[in-house]
Amino acid sequence: DQQVKQNSPSLSVQEGRISILNCDYTNSMFDYFLWYKKYPAEGPTFLISISSIKDKNEDGRFTVFLNKSAKHLSLHIVPSQPGDSAVYFCAAKNTNAGKSTFGDGTTLTVKP
Amino acid sequence: EPEVTQTPSHQVTQMGQEVILRCVPISNHLYFYWYRQILGQKVEFLVSFYNNEISEKSEIFDDQFSVERPDGSNFTLKIRSTKLEDSAMYFCASSESPRVLQPQHFGDGTRLSIL
């Protein structure tokens, strides 16, 4: 039972353009959503999060949008930079439980 | 910036042997986790630990696994009798509290190779 899904295993964009990474979830008990970035040989690094009481959270070049009715969230990176090339994991949790449930990840490649 | 540290970075062990993976969580964090990632697969939750006891564990975390906080700074994962399928990256994470909107902070992982 895959509760968090990232249907695109990879995404390639030109430097300066927008990157949009998508994530879907099935468990309606999730109320906190996170995006992590992972470089090879490193652990996941927290990027940005959103609570279920919001529909948008912005931090610099990164914006996360949440559509609760569709159980869908997306991460927008504008403008994309070559250093953004990494694997991006969507994760979800219920704030009454500690664990996060991760998606499969999307490998983003930003071409110069 | 404080970080989660894990040792060793790579552990090679014969099948059937015991292995202990070590983690030093961020000092003011109270909630600790182990996750693993088998090559090419997703990051999977193993166990969470709070107030010196397991809070939650997944079906992966069977009797071969145990966790311990032997002192005020270390958090360990022990696998008693390793199997080939235990080969994976093991990530330790910590957070201030699970009931606050706080992310988990991850270490860089230990690559466990079972021969």
CA gap A7, A26 in Å, rounded: 13
Mean pLDDT, chain A, integer: 94
Mean pLDDT in residue range B31-55: 92
For residue A44, list chain B residues with Cβ-Cβ distance below 8 A.
Answer: 43, 91, 106
Q: B65 is written with which tokens?
A: 């696994």
Mean pLDDT in residue range A8-22: 97
Read off the DSSP letter of residue A42: S
Per residue in B59-105, pLDDT tens?
Answer: 999 999 999 998 878 999 999 999 999 999 999 999 987 666 778 99
Distances (CA, A) of B99 to A93, A106, B34, B39, B80: 10, 28, 18, 31, 32
- Are A102 and B43 a contacting pair at CB < 8 A? yes
In this prediction, residue B98 carries a pLDDT of 65
Q: Could you tell me if B59 lies within 8 Å of chain A, comparing CB atoms?
A: no
Identify which has the larger pLDDT, B2 or B56: B56
Quickly state the pLDDT bin for A81 (edges 50, 70, 90). Answer: very high
In this prediction, residue B93 carries a pLDDT of 95
Share of chain B above pLDDT 90, in %: 77
| Length reported for chain B | 115
Contact between A23 and A36 under an 8 Å Cβ cutoff? The reply is: no
Helix (H, G, I), strand (E, B) or coil at B42: coil
- Are A46 and B103 a contacting pair at CB < 8 A? yes
44-103 in A: which are within 8 Å (CB) of B? Answer: 44-46, 49, 51, 89, 95-103
For residue B95, list chain A residues with Cβ-Cβ distance below 8 A.
Answer: 98
Per residue in A27-51, pLDDT tens?
Answer: 999 999 999 999 988 899 999 999 9
Whether A99 shows a pLDDT value over 90: the answer reads no
Chain A's closest residue to B30, CA to CA, is A98
In this prediction, residue A1 carries a pLDDT of 66
Output the CA torsion A38→B81→B32→B112 (10° steps): -20
- Are B109 and A42 a contacting pair at CB < 8 A? yes
- Are A46 and B105 a contacting pair at CB < 8 A? yes
Contact between B73 and B67 under an 8 Å Cβ cutoff? The reply is: no
Q: A56 is written with which tokens?
A: 């948008």
Whether B115 shows a pLDDT value over 70: the answer reads yes
Looking at the partner chain, which of A44, A51, A98 has a beta carbon nearest the beta carbon of B56? A98
Please name the amino acid found at residue A112.
Answer: P
In this prediction, residue B40 carries a pLDDT of 84
Mean pLDDT in residue range B22-41: 93
Q: A51 is written with which tokens?
A: 């609570």
Cβ-based neighbours of B91, under 8 Å, separated by 6 or more: A43, A44, B6, B34, B35, B36, B37, B43, B106, B107, B109
- Are A42 and B33 a contacting pair at CB < 8 A? no
In this prediction, residue A96 carries a pLDDT of 77
In this prediction, residue B11 carries a pLDDT of 96
Whether B2 shows a pLDDT value over 90: the answer reads no
